[in-house]
């Protein structure tokens, strides 16, 4: 692995994209070599560093990933547009470039396609790149295993009012961690909304509730409710920086790995 990981950021003028550009600019082990936006974006042609706020990087925002992507690059996708993400992933596989995918909101078929494609090159895909959430997921798995099924699991997430998908990819991942630890099929036990006369809670249900309010970066609470006691595991992101820092850590790490689909657990060596 070279000392400096060359990264191409897709969604470079978005909230995550600007953070990634700004943090990478100050990080000697990373080099922004490409910044890509949706065709017609108002910041097209501007310096990615200036768009991120601060010093210029010398990299202008363009709309053609294919024109810049090389095998040594790490393509980071935070477009929030699953169809575009899948196009970027196909291109990275064709070129042999590495991938860090943070976009969420894939439907089941898109998720399956993403996993199959991403495994063909060096890829880290995570619904949440925060180190704290990665450890939370481990703790949730352990709690789900240690507590018997009389401790009923419910998940509450809170995000800012602009978030487009619900529930969050992180809440779904936490639900899947509970289901996996308890040998359940998540798709059949998850209950994503309750309304009206739904009757008593079915044994084994994993309820997930999404709240949208203000500028909350992302809170996740996993509740294990027993009889006379309740265990709650909580993570609160105080700024989006933890997500961007985690994604950049993944970008540095993935360059030296053999082809395969990795998670933040792998990046942290858990």
Q: Where are the alpha helices (DSSP H) in the chain?
A: 15-25, 48-52, 82-95, 108-118, 131-146, 169-181, 186-189, 241-254, 264-268
Nearer to ligand NAD, 81 or 179 (CB): 81
Pick one of 105, 132, 225, 255: the residue that binds ligand NAD (CB under 6 A): 105
Q: Is 129 in the site for ligand NAD (CB under 6 A)?
A: yes
Q: How far is CA 180 from CA 85, 106, 138, 189, 210, in A?
A: 27, 20, 12, 11, 21
Pick one of 57, 123, 128, 134: the residue that binds ligand NAD (CB under 6 A): 128
Using CB under 6 A, which residues numbered 236 to 265 contact ligand NAD? 243
- Is 163 known to be catalytic? yes
Binding mask 29-58 for ligand NAD (x = CB under 6 A): -------xxx--x-----------------
Q: Are strands 190-191 and 152-159 parallel, antiparallel or unpaired?
A: unpaired
Q: Which two tokens stand for residue 20?
A: 């990634």
- Is 235 known to be catalytic? no
Q: Are strands 5-10 and 219-225 parallel, antiparallel or unpaired?
A: unpaired
Pick one of 44, 50, 84, 233: the residue that binds ligand NAD (CB under 6 A): 84
Nearer to ligand NAD, 99 or 147 (CB): 99
Q: Is 60 in the site for ligand NAD (CB under 6 A)?
A: no
Of 73, 159, 220, 235, the active-site residue reads 159
Q: Is 22 in the site for ligand NAD (CB under 6 A)?
A: no
Which residue is it, tokens 């419910």?
154
Q: How far is CA 102 from CA 8, 11, 213, in A?
A: 13, 11, 22
Backbone φ and ψ of 261, nearest 5°:
-100, 115
Q: Is 126 in the site for ligand NAD (CB under 6 A)?
A: yes
Residues marked active site are found at: 159, 163
Q: Which residues of the chain form contacts with ligand NAD (CB under 6 A)?
A: 10-11, 13-17, 36-38, 41, 78-81, 84, 102-105, 126-129, 243
């Amino acid at each position: 692995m070279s000392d400096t990981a060359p990264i191409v950021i897709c969604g470079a003028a978005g909230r995550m994209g600007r953070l990634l550009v700004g943090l990478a600019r100050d990080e000697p082990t990373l080099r922004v070599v490409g910044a890509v936006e949706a065709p017609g974006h108002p910041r097209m042609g501007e310096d990615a560093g200036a768009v991120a706020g601060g010093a210029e990087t010398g990299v202008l925002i363009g709309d053609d990933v294919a024109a810049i992507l090389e095998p040594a690059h790490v393509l980071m996708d935070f477009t929030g547009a699953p169809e575009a993400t899948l196009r970027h992933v196909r291109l990275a596989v064709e070129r042999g470039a590495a991938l860090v995918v943070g976009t969420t909101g894939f439907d089941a078929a898109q998720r399956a396609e993403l996993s199959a494609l991403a495994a063909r090159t060096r890829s880290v895909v995570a619904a949440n790149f925060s180190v704290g959430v990665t450890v939370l997921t481990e703790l949730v798995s352990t709690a789900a295993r240690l507590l018997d099924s009389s401790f009923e699991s419910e998940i509450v997430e809170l995000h800012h009012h602009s978030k487009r998908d619900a529930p969050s990819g992180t809440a779904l991942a936490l639900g899947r961690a509970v289901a996996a630890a308890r040998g359940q099929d998540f798709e059949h036990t998850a209950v994503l909304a309750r309304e009206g006369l739904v009757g008593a809670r079915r044994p084994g249900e994993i309820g997930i509730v999404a709240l949208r309010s203000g500028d909350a970066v992302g809170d996740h609470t996993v509740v294990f409710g027993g009889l006379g006691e309740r265990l709650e595991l909580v993570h609160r992101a105080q700024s989006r920086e933890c997500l961007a820092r985690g994604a950049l850590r993944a970008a540095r790490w993935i360059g030296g790995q053999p082809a395969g689909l990795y998670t933040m657990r792998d990046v942290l060596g858990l």
